[in-house]
Amino acid sequence: MSLMRDLHLAAKHHLEERKRSLALKLAAEILFVDCGLKPGFLYDLSGAGVVQIQGYLKELHRLGFIKGPLHVINMADTVLIINVSSTVSYLGLVLDREDLHVIDVSAQLKHPEMFKKDKLCHIRSQLSDLLTLLKPYQDIKPDSISVVHIPCPEWNLCTMFGFLLHFPVVYWFDTSKSFENCLSFTPLKHFTVQITCPKIGLQKIQVYSFTVPESVYQFVQTLLQKWIKGLRQMFNMQGHFTDLEILTETVMLPAVAL
C-alpha cells in the first residue's frame, strides 16, 4: 500500500495526475519498458512537458521502482519514454532485416498494400539516423534520465513511432498528398496484449494495441507469430508481471487515427 501511495503522489506532484488508477497504470507501463519487455512507451496521460516527465521518472528511480536508464524523447511535441539499450538493440535488429514490413495506407489507395521493398531506403535511412542519435545514451548512469529533442521534419511519425513502440508491422502514408488513410471500414485484425502487475495490484493492463489489415495479413503472419513467441519468451524471463494475454478480434471502424 505504501508503494502504491508513493507512486500516486509522484504522478500527482510531477504530472498533476490526481486519479490513482491512471497513476498506477502509468507506473506499470513504464516498469514494462524499464525491464526490457518493450523498447518504448508513448506518453499521452496529460499535458506535462519533458521536464516534468523527467522529474517523475527520477522519482520512480529514487523509489526503487525502476532501475533505468530511461530516456525521454520529444519528437514534434510528442513524448516517448524509451529503454535506451532495448531500443538501440531492437532498431539494430530491424535494420538487419531484409524487409521492414511496412504497410502503405495512403488515402489514394483502394486497399492497404505492403510497402514495396525497393522504396524502403528512405525509411531505413531515417531509422539509421535515429539509431545514431540514441547510441551515445547507452553509456549514461542508471540513475540518469536523459532528454533529447529530435528534429524530424521529413519523417512520417506514424511509421517511426511504430518502430519505437515495437509493433511487428507499422503503417506509412504519403504525407505529401494527404494525412488521411484508406483504413475506413476496412477489416482489421486488432491485437491487444494485457498483463497483471501484482506489485501494485493491477490486472489486465493493456501494454500493446495495434492493427493489421486482413487484406495483407498473409504477408505478415509469420512475422507476427515470431513476434508473439519472442514476447512470451521475454515475459517468462522476468518477475514483475504475470498473466500475459494476447487477444485478437476483427474490427471495422468508420475512421482510424494514426
Task: Report domain extents, the chain.
Answer: 2-249
- As to burial, measured by CB atoms within 10 angstroms (0-12 exposed, 13-18 middle, 19+ buried), residue 183 is buried
**Which pLDDT does position 59 carry in this prediction?**
95
Instruction: Flag whether pLDDT at 138 surpasses 90.
Output: no
**Which pLDDT does position 179 carry in this prediction?**
81
38-64 pLDDT, tens digit per residue, is: 999 999 877 788 999 999 999 999 999
Q: Pick the more confident residue, 182 or 141.
A: 182
C-alpha cell at 78: 510528442
139-178 pLDDT, tens digit per residue, is: 777 777 888 888 877 788 999 999 999 999 999 998 878 7
Work out the percent of the chain whose per-residue pLDDT is above 90: 75
Q: Pick the more confident residue, 49 or 194.
A: 194
**Which pLDDT does position 150 carry in this prediction?**
87
In three-state secondary structure terms, 54 is helix
| Confidence (pTM) | 0.92
Give the mean pLDDT of 207-220. 96
**Which pLDDT does position 148 carry in this prediction?**
86
Q: Which of the four pLDDT bands, split at 50, 70 and 90, describes residue 244?
A: very high
Q: Which of the four pLDDT bands, split at 50, 70 and 90, describes residue 255?
A: confident
Report yes or no: 51 and 74 within 8 Å, Cβ to Cβ.
no
Give the mean pLDDT of 229-238. 95
Give the mean pLDDT of 224-230. 96
Report yes or no: 100 and 110 within 8 Å, Cβ to Cβ.
no
